[in-house]
Structure 1
Amino acid sequence: EKALCLADRLGGHLVSGHVDGVGEVLAFTDLGESWKLDIRAPQSLAKFIAIKGSITLNGVSLTINQVNGCAFSINLIPHTLAMTNLKNLHAGSRVNLEIDLIARYVERMMTADKT
């Protein structure tokens, strides 16, 4: 995917291309009109994962639909599967995770030494 120019319309969330961790696909379920992808993230990333928040899986910007501890779910529409590498995933697959850039900075500001 081409890089965004600062003057362009932003249609997703900011993605830097940095891998923050590797997750594991727990399940990939066909729901008929969409697919549900269940992922387990490393414990160190769990605090950055929130319902309706953004996350990048293998370079694809997505919205988180459910969170349960270190596990989270994404729903994928047919177009997303057709146009991305996510169609090749299955239970047990490893996926590169990039947390939301804003969440990373908020966490840093909240935990930084105030002295």
Structure 2
Amino acid sequence: MFTGIIETLGSVVEIIQEKENIHLKIASSITNELKIDQSVAHNGICLTVVAIEDAIYTVTAIKETIEKTNIASWKTNDIINLERAMKLGDRLDGHIVQGHVDQIGICKETKEANGSWYFTFEYNKNLQNITIEKGSITINGTSLTVINSKLNEFSVAIIPYTYENTNFKNFKVGTVVNLEFDVIGKYVKRIQDLRI
């Protein structure tokens, strides 16, 4: 389980295709603190550390992950958001994040607003995920509050700290992101669907 509070950034060093899997070598400032079998969220995708060598660690994405996320489009030198799993007893500063990406979204608009930034994203409504005004959303692993919630679109406001310490500073119109919708909202939606 994660909180959606980004811990640091990492850089993709190497990408290796093996059958239907992708192995990614990642360089980060926290590599020396990681261990084999540990879960780390990469742009919101929970991946298991399978190897560590000096300042670089390796994770593997399988077909299911590749199909539901933007990981297949990652390139060498891409900067990604990283968060280690939450420790039991820690404060939950963001919201409950599983690291299970529901679908991708596309950045429709970026706007600077005198010290903060607004980003608008659209997503495929046919996958039946929903947002609500002032509800939680995870974008590339970052826990944020929804504003301007619509049927297949929403916006978020970013403070300067988040902008500078995540890969939001690299977003532009057309950027494809990973979305994890609020887990409580998903259960409520599922219960509602079963009642019909």
Structure with greater Cα Rg:
2
Bigger mean CA deviation after superposition, 98-107 or 41-50:
41-50
Q: In the TM superposition, what are the counterparts of 1:7-46 in structure 2 within 5 Å?
A: 7-44=89-126
Does residue 139 of structure 2 align to residue 61 of structure 1?
A: no
**Alignment length, in residue pairs?**
114
Deviation at 1:23, TM superposition (A): 0.6
Q: Distance in 2 between matches of 1:70 and 1:14?
A: 22
Bigger mean CA deviation after superposition, 44-53 or 65-74:
44-53
RMSD value, Cα: 1.7
Normalized against structure 2, the TM-score is what? 0.54
Q: Distance in 2 between matches of 1:93 and 1:106?
A: 30
Q: Which has the higher strand share?
A: 2
Normalized against structure 1, the TM-score is what? 0.90
Q: Distance in 1 between matches of 2:97 and 2:118?
A: 22
Q: Distance in 1 between matches of 2:109 and 2:188?
A: 31
Aligned residue type for 1:102: I
Deviation at 1:44, TM superposition (A): 3.3
CA distance 1:63–1:22, shift in 2 (3 Å) = same
Give the aligned partner of residue 80 of structure 2.
none
Runs of 4+ in 1 over 3 A off after TM superposition: 44-47
Q: Which has the higher contact order (CA 8 A, sep 6+)?
A: 1
Identity value in percent? 40
Bigger mean CA deviation after superposition, 18-27 or 62-71:
62-71
Deviation at 1:11, TM superposition (A): 1.0
Does residue 159 of structure 2 align to residue 77 of structure 1?
A: yes
Q: Distance in 2 between matches of 1:40 and 1:32?
A: 24
Q: Distance in 2 between matches of 1:8 and 1:47?
A: 29
1:3 to 85, 105, 109: 85
Q: Which has the higher helix share?
A: 1
Q: Distance in 1 between matches of 2:114 and 2:128?
A: 29
Does residue 172 of structure 2 align to residue 87 of structure 1?
A: no
Q: Which runs of 5+ in 1 are unaligned?
A: none
